[in-house]
C-alpha cells in the first residue's frame, strides 16, 4: 500500500509539525519520543484531526486535502485504529465489542471505496488472538493484555485497508509485551494488512516492522530499515534517549 501524507500545523504552545512523507507500507514503524508529533500524524491519517495544511492519499486516492476542501469521513476511510488505551465498551461483552466494528453490525455505516485486501472472518480473528474463552466476559474482568487483544480484534474485524497501532505495548509488563508482539506478528503475517506502528519502543520496531520513519520535534529525521536506522548495538542508548 502506498501512503502519501503532508501534515503542517502550528499549535498554540509554539510546537509545530512539518511532515512530507511518501512511502510503501507493509509494516512500518513511526518511531520517536513522546511529544515528537506521532499522534498528530496518526490523527491526520485517521481523520480525527485536521491540521492547518494537510494532504493524505492511500494508493493515490485522496482522503484529505485542505487546499481542495476534501475530507473523507472517518467511517469511510477503512482505517482501523487501536489506541494506547483500549477504550472498550464496558457495558458490552467481548463478543459484542468485537462485533461492533463489523460492517454487518453497523448498517448505518456507508460503504468505503477503499477495501481490505482480504476479508477477515470473526472466528479466524478469535482464534488468532486466542479470545474464544473470553467472548462472554466484560472488559472490567479482563487483564490489560486481554483488553489489548480485544481492541486489536475489534480493529481488524472492521475490515481495514490500513491498521494503525498506537503504542501497542504501553502499560504492559515485559511478559505481556512479548505475548502481544506474537499476536501482532501473526496478524501482520497472516492477513498482510498494511500496518503503521506508533511507538518509542525499539524492541517493537525490530520485532514487527520492516521499515521505520523516525521523527523528532515535528520533523522526519531518518527513514529506512530498522537495522539501518536503529542499529541493535545502539538499542539501549536509543531507549534511554526517548
**What does the pLDDT read at residue 237?**
42
**What does the pLDDT read at residue 171?**
80
The span from the CA of 2 to the CA of 105, in Å, is 29
**What does the pLDDT read at residue 236?**
45
**What does the pLDDT read at residue 104?**
63
CA distances to 25, 102, 114, 160, 195 from 94, rounded to whole Å, are 30, 13, 27, 20, 23
**What would the grid cell of residue 227 be?**
537495522
What string of pLDDT tens digits covers the 242 residues of the chain? 999 999 999 999 999 999 999 999 999 999 999 999 999 999 999 999 999 999 999 999 999 999 999 999 998 999 999 988 878 999 999 999 999 878 765 543 444 444 445 688 999 999 999 999 999 999 999 998 899 999 999 999 999 999 999 998 888 888 888 888 998 998 898 889 999 999 999 999 999 999 999 999 999 999 999 999 998 754 444 443 33
The span from the CA of 139 to the CA of 88, in Å, is 7
**What does the pLDDT read at residue 241?**
35
Q: Is the pTM of this model over 0.85?
A: yes
Q: Which CATH architecture has domain 2-241?
A: 3-Layer(aba) Sandwich (3.40)
The span from the CA of 128 to the CA of 173, in Å, is 21
CA distances to 13, 47, 217, 228 from 82, rounded to whole Å, are 27, 14, 24, 27
Amino acid at each position: 500500500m502506498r501512503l502519501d501524507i503532508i501534515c503542517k500545523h502550528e499549535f498554540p504552545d509554539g510546537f509545530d509539525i512539518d511532515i512530507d512523507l511518501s512511502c510503501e507500507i507493509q509494516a512500518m514503524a513511526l518511531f520517536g519520543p513522546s511529544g515528537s508529533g506521532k499522534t498528530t500524524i496518526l490523527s491526520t491519517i485517521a481523520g480525527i484531526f485536521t491540521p492547518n495544511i494537510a494532504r493524505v492519499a492511500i494508493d493515490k486516492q485522496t482522503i484529505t486535502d485542505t487546499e481542495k476542501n476534501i475530507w473523507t469521513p472517518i467511517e469511510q476511510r477503512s482505517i482501523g485504529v487501536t489506541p494506547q488505551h483500549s477504550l472498550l465498551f464496558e457495558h458490552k461483552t467481548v463478543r459484542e465489542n468485537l462485533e461492533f466494528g463489523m460492517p454487518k453490525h453497523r448498517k448505518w455505516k456507508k460503504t468505503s471505496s477503499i477495501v481490505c485486501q482480504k476479508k477477515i472472518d470473526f472466528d479466524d480473528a478469535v482464534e488468532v488472538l486466542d479470545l474464544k474463552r473470553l467472548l462472554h466476559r466484560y472488559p472490567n474482568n479482563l487483564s490489560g493484555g486481554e483488553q489489548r487483544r480485544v481492541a486489536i480484534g475489534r480493529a481488524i474485524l472492521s475490515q481495514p485497508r490500513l491498521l494503525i497501532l498506537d503504542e501497542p505495548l504501553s502499560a504492559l509488563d515485559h511478559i505481556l509485551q512479548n505475548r502481544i508482539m506474537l499476536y501482532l506478528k501473526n496478524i501482520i503475517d497472516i492477513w498482510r494488512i498494511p500496518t503503521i506502528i506508533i511507538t518509542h519502543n525499539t524492541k517493537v520496531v525490530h520485532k514487527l516492522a520492516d521499515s521505520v520513519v523516525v521523527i523528532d520535534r515535528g520533523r522526519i529525521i531518518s527513514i529506512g530499515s530498522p537495522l539501518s536506522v536503529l542499529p541493535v548495538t545502539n538499542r539501549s542508548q536509543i531507549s534511554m534517549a526517548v
